[in-house]
Amino acid sequence: MKKFISILFLIFSSVNINAADESYVIDDSHFSLGFLVDHAGYSKTLGLFKHIEGSYTFNNTDNIIKNLSITVKTDSVFTNHDKRDAHLRSPDFLNSKEFPTMKFSVDEYDLNKTPNKLVGDLTLLGVTKPITLEFTINKVAQYPFRVGLSKPMVMGVSAKTSFKRSDFGMTYGVSKKLVGDEMDLIIEFEARRQ
C-alpha cells in the first residue's frame, strides 16, 4: 500500500509541475525593440525593428523561463531615414541579404538565481554570444480588452541591455569613432498565454 501511495504521489507531483508550465506567444502588435547608438559623438541615433515573432514557456510557481525564442527580421530596421536604413541593411551593418534574421534564445533560466536578470544567447551576423538582459515581468493578468471572443491572460515585460556590436563582427565606423560600438537595446512586449 505504501508503494502504491508513493507512486500516486509521484504521478500527481509530476502533473502539478507540468501544469505550472504555461506557453506564451508574443503579440507582435505590442512589441517594441528599439536601439540607440552613438553618431560621431554628436548624438545617439534611435531606431527600431518592425517585424518580430517569439514564444516561450513560463513556470509561474518556480519562476523559470524555458524555450524562449525571439526572432527579428533584420531588413525591418527603421530609423526614419531611408538612405540610413538602406545602409544599415547593407554588409557594413546587418547584412540582411545574407543574415535575414537575428535571434535571442534561452533554453532554460531560473529567474530566482539573479532577480531581474535574464541570460541568453544573441545570434547576430551568424555569431552567437551570451548577453544579459535587465528583465522585469511587469504584470501577469487577464487582459482588460477582448481578443476575439475572450480576454486572454497576458504577461507584460520590460527589458534592456547593452553590448558591443564589434563582438559580432560589425565593425563599420568603430575605429574612426564615426558610429559607436556600444549598442543599447530597449525591449517592451506583451505575450498571450495559449
The DSSP secondary-structure symbol of 89 reads H
pLDDT band, residue 17 (cuts 50/70/90): very low
CA distances from 125 to 24, 99, 139 (A): 27, 6, 33
Q: For residue 6, is pLDDT > 70? A: no
Interatomic CA distance for residues 192 and 143, integer angstroms = 9
Q: How confident is the model at residue 149 (pLDDT cuts 50, 70, 90)?
A: confident
Greater pLDDT, 115 or 179:
179
Q: Which domains does the chain have, with CATH numbers?
A: 21-193 (2.40.128.110)
* Sign of the alpha-carbon torsion through 60, 105, 67, 22: positive
Work out the average pLDDT over 58-68. 95
83-141 per-position pLDDT tens digit: 999 999 999 999 999 999 999 999 999 999 888 999 999 999 999 999 999 999 999 99
Q: Measured at the alpha carbon of residue 133, what is the angle toward residues 128 and 134, in degrees to the nearest 5?
A: 170
Average pLDDT score, the chain: 92
Q: Are strands 21-39 and 64-73 parallel, antiparallel or unpaired?
A: unpaired
pTM here? 0.86
Question: Does residue 189 register a pLDDT over 50?
Answer: yes
Q: Please answer whether residues 69 and 56 qualify as being in contact, where contact means their C-beta atoms are separated by less than 8 angstroms.
A: yes
Q: Provide the pLDDT confidence category of residue 15 given band limits of 50, 70 and 90.
A: very low
Mean pLDDT of 58-72: 96
User: Grid coordinates in use for 62?
Assistant: 518556480
Residue 3 pLDDT: 54
**Are 77 and 88 a contacting pair, CB within 8 Å?**
yes
